[in-house]
Amino acid sequence: MKHREMGFLSFIAILALLMALVSITINMVLPAFQSMANTFQLRHQNQIQLVISLLYLGLGIGQLFYGPLSDSIGRKRTIYIGLILFITGCLVSYLSGDLVTLIAGQIIQGLGLGAPRVISLSIVRDRYAGNSMARAMSFIMVIYILTPIFSPILGKMVLMLAEWRTLFIVFIFLGLAVLLLFRYVMPETLPPERRKAFTVRHLVAATAGIVNNQISLGCIIILGVYSGVFITYLNLSQPIFEIEYQLGNRYPFYFASLALGIGLASFLNGKLVTGFGMEKLIRYAIWSGLTASVPFIILTGWYQGHPPLSILLIFLFIQLFCYGILIGNLSAMAMKPFGNFAGLAAAIIGALSTLISVPLSIGLGRYFNGSVMPLVAGFLVAGVVSIIIFHHNHQVKLAHE
* 75-89, 169-183, 296-310, 343-357: least confidently modelled range: 343-357
Q: Are residues 256 and 324 in the same domain?
A: yes
Given a cut of 70, is residue 20 above it in pLDDT?
yes
Give yes or no for residue 51 having a pLDDT over 70: yes
| Same domain, yes or no: 161 and 271 | no
pLDDT for 133 beyond 70: no
Mean pLDDT of 20-33: 89
My answer on whether 190 and 204 are in the same domain is no
User: Are both 190 and 274 inside the same structural domain?
Assistant: no
Which of 141, 164, 195 is where one domain is finished? Answer: 195
CA–CA distances in Å: residue 316 to residues 98, 125, 257: 33, 34, 11
The verdict on 308 and 178 lying in the same domain is: no
Residues 72, 88, single domain; the answer is yes
Query: Of 169-173, 237-241, 343-347, 383-387, where does mean pLDDT reach its minimum?
Result: 343-347
Q: What is the pLDDT at residue 67?
A: 78
CB 106 within 8 A of CB 51: yes
* Number of domains the chain contains: 2
Same domain? For 169 and 213 the reply is no
If asked whether residues 238 and 339 sit together in one domain, one would say yes
Burial of 26 (0-12, 13-18, 19+ CB in 10 A): buried
Entry pTM: 0.86
pLDDT at res. 377: 95
Who wins on pLDDT, 267 or 107? Answer: 107
- Checking if the pLDDT of 346 tops 80, the result is no
Closest CA to 52 of 367, 364, 260: 364
Measure the CA–CA gap between 294 and 311, rounded to whole angstroms: 14
Q: Please state the rounded mean pLDDT for residues 314-341.
A: 84
Mean pLDDT (the chain) is: 86
| CB burial readout 184-193, b (16+ within 10 A) else e | eebbebbeee
Q: In the structure, what pLDDT confidence band is assigned to residue 129 with cuts at 50, 70 and 90?
A: low
Of the three residues 195, 213, 236, the one that is the final residue of a domain is 195
**Domain membership of residue 29 as a residue range:** 1-195
Which pLDDT score, from 0 to 100, does residue 9 have? 77
Helical segments of 277-372, H only: 278-302, 309-335, 342-365
More confident site: 146 or 251: 251
Residue 272 pLDDT > 60, yes or no? yes
Q: What is the pLDDT of residue 88?
A: 97
pLDDT digits (tens, 9 = 90+) for 217-228: 999 999 999 999
| Residue 86: closest CA among 19, 144, 15, 171 | 171
Is pLDDT of 98 > 70? yes
One domain, residues 184 and 215: no
More confident: 269 or 83: 83
In this prediction, residue 137 carries a pLDDT of 63
How does DSSP classify residue 238?
I
Chain length of the chain: 401
259 pLDDT band, cuts 50/70/90, is confident
| Among the listed residues 358, 363, 321, the one whose alpha carbon sits nearest the alpha carbon of residue 228 | 358
> Domain with 39 in it: what CATH number?
1.20.1250.20
Confidence grade of residue 260 (pLDDT, cut at 50, 70, 90): confident
Q: Angle at Cα 359 formed by Cα 338 and Cα 149, nearest 5°? A: 80
> Are 30 and 55 in the same domain?
yes
Quick one: 46 and 124 in the same domain? yes
Answer yes or no: are the C-beta atoms of 133 and 233 closer than 8 Å: no
- The answer on 46 and 11 residing in a single domain is yes
The confidence band for 203, taking pLDDT boundaries of 50, 70 and 90, is confident
